[in-house]
Structure 1
Amino acid sequence: MKLSEALAVLERSFSGLEEGAPRLVEAEDDRFALRPSAVWLEYRWYVRAGGMAEVFLKSERVRAGVRFHAEATVLRVHLLGASSELSERAAQLLVGGRPAPERLMGLFGDDGVRREVVAFGRTSVTVEHWDTPGPRPVLAEARFRALAERLADPASTPEERHEAVQRLADERSPRVVEVLLELLSRQSSLMALRVLSEWGEERSRAPLLRALDAVRPDNPADLWTLTALVRRLDAWTHVKR
């Protein structure tokens, strides 16, 4: 599927919906021209009462002027919150594709996210349901304390903190939010910023902007990632919960 075709399908599926933040199109922003990659990236954020559809596109990294004729390799939708309309809109992207679960093998592991994936030639189209209905799991008290202490330990490694944030995020509760915000008050953590932006936690905006301001101009990869997280947080402000 050419990028122009993927964009046409996307526009049809989400026609008429509000976008909660400006689109982030790598090929149209000189700040990302030097990011070492074989693909161009793009993000969009469609919002509706109760939820958000975060759209992520990858296409072959050709000259910007002809990129619409290049192959779109990935079209992925992250469904955040609970909006039946957004789920229905996203499902339209899957119609006519060949079921291709093999394209997910080894990519994500057992992260609890429900995924539907189809292929249109070389293009993978995936809908990810990031919020599952029903009660959230609660960590055992001893486990919670151990993970929180690991984040508070100045001797812990970045890898240990990354894993601790991931394990804490399984619970998604006010006490986890407070622990992650406390971590960010001491030092930056990309994983904690990812989690809190996914949950729409507005109090993470200040540490997120600090991290963005600290990015060096010769680090376009982190600049891209953090800019996308800021816009995701912006989009949450347009979601009526």
Structure 2
Amino acid sequence: MTLTDAQGLLERCFTGVEEGAPRLREQEDARFALRPSAVWLEYRWYIQAHGMAEVFLKWGRVSAEQSPTAEATVLRVHLLGASPVLAERAHRLLEGGTPSKDPMLDLVGDDGLRRECAAFGRTRVTVEHWDSPLGPRPLLDEARFNALAAVLASPDSTPEARHEAVQRLADERSPRVSAVLLALVERKPSLMALRVLSEWGVVEAREALHRDVSQVAPDNPADLWALTALDRRLQAWATLRGAGGG
């Protein structure tokens, strides 16, 4: 499937669905020209009801003139929140393909996500269900929660320790965890915490995220890309909730 074919498939399957933030197309932004990668990326954020379909495309890092006919290697959709309409639209992307195993499973193992994957030649189309589970998640033991929160609050904790603590806290999706993670990113940069907060739609994290974007070194396009994508995700959540995207 060429890039043009993949983009056309997206347009057909999501026709009439609002996009909550401007598309992020790496090849069209000079800031990302030196990002160390063998592929170009394009992200989109479709929104509806209480959910979001975050889409990304990958294709070989060829020239702009060659891109339309380049092979799209990956078309992946993350379903966040709760929208049966978006889930149905995303499922249309798989129609006509050959059911297959997602290669990501070899890298991440069983991470608890439900994935549907189909192959169209060498193009892999995957729908990942990041949808919120019904009902609250079990709370962490109080002592465990306090110990993890203390790691984030400590000025002496290492980035590695904070990263691990954020991952463990994220097992409990709750207001108290959101508050702890938000307090962390307001004090210091934490890409992992911003990933979690943006997945959960905590739009209050955008101010800290904008600070981090402004502090990224010019020779670090990888972090700039990651932070910009998270900001667009939060912008889409804000649009969905009628809070505006500015």
TM-score of the superposition, structure 2-length normalised? Answer: 0.94
Equivalent AA in structure 1 for residue 189 of structure 2: S
Q: Identical aligned pairs, as a percentage?
A: 67
Q: How far is 1:102 from its partner?
A: 5.2
Q: What CA distance in whole angstroms lies between the structure 2 residues aligned with 1:18 and 1:75?
A: 19
Q: What CA distance in whole angstroms lies between the structure 1 residues aligned with 2:154 and 2:177?
A: 16
> Is the contact made by 1:48 and 1:240 (CA closer than 8 Å) also made in structure 2?
no
Q: What CA distance in whole angstroms lies between the structure 1 residues aligned with 2:102 and 2:4?
A: 26
For 1:108, the equivalent position in structure 2 comes to: 108
3-state SS of paired residue (1:101): coil
Q: What CA distance in whole angstroms lies between the structure 2 residues aligned with 1:73 and 1:102?
A: 12
Equivalent AA in structure 2 for residue 20 of structure 1: G
> Is the contact made by 2:102 and 2:126 (CA closer than 8 Å) also made in structure 1?
no
For 2:181, the equivalent position in structure 1 comes to: 180
3-state SS of paired residue (1:126): strand
CA distances 1:94-143 after superposition (whole Å, capped 9, x unpaired): 11111212523322233222111111111111101112432222211121
Q: How far is 1:65 from its partner?
A: 1.5
Equivalent AA in structure 1 for residue 89 of structure 2: R
For 2:64, the equivalent position in structure 1 comes to: 64
Equivalent AA in structure 1 for residue 187 of structure 2: R
Equivalent AA in structure 2 for residue 151 of structure 1: L
> Is the contact made by 2:80 and 2:199 (CA closer than 8 Å) also made in structure 1?
yes
Q: What CA distance in whole angstroms lies between the structure 2 residues aligned with 1:131 and 1:111?
A: 14
Q: How far is 1:153 from its partner?
A: 2.2
| Worse-superposed segment, 216-225 or 81-90 | 216-225
- What is the RMSD of the two structures over their aligned residues, measured on CA atoms? 1.4
For 1:158, the equivalent position in structure 2 comes to: 159
> Is the contact made by 1:25 and 1:41 (CA closer than 8 Å) also made in structure 2?
yes
Equivalent AA in structure 2 for residue 162 of structure 1: H
Q: How do 1:115-194 and structure 2 match up within 5 A?
A: 115-135=115-135, 136-194=137-195
| Worse-superposed segment, 182-191 or 83-92 | 182-191
> Is the contact made by 2:80 and 2:132 (CA closer than 8 Å) also made in structure 1?
no
For 2:237, the equivalent position in structure 1 comes to: 236
Which structure 1 residue ranges, 4+ long, deviate > 6 Å from structure 2? none
For 1:90, the equivalent position in structure 2 comes to: 90
For 1:4, the equivalent position in structure 2 comes to: 4
Equivalent AA in structure 1 for residue 197 of structure 2: L
CA separation of 1:221 and 1:112: change in aligned 2, threshold 3 A: same
Q: What CA distance in whole angstroms lies between the structure 1 residues aligned with 2:102 and 2:128?
A: 15
CA separation of 1:182 and 1:132: change in aligned 2, threshold 3 A: closer
Equivalent AA in structure 2 for residue 95 of structure 1: E
> Is the contact made by 1:49 and 1:240 (CA closer than 8 Å) also made in structure 2?
no
Identify unmatched segments of 5+ residues in structure 1. none
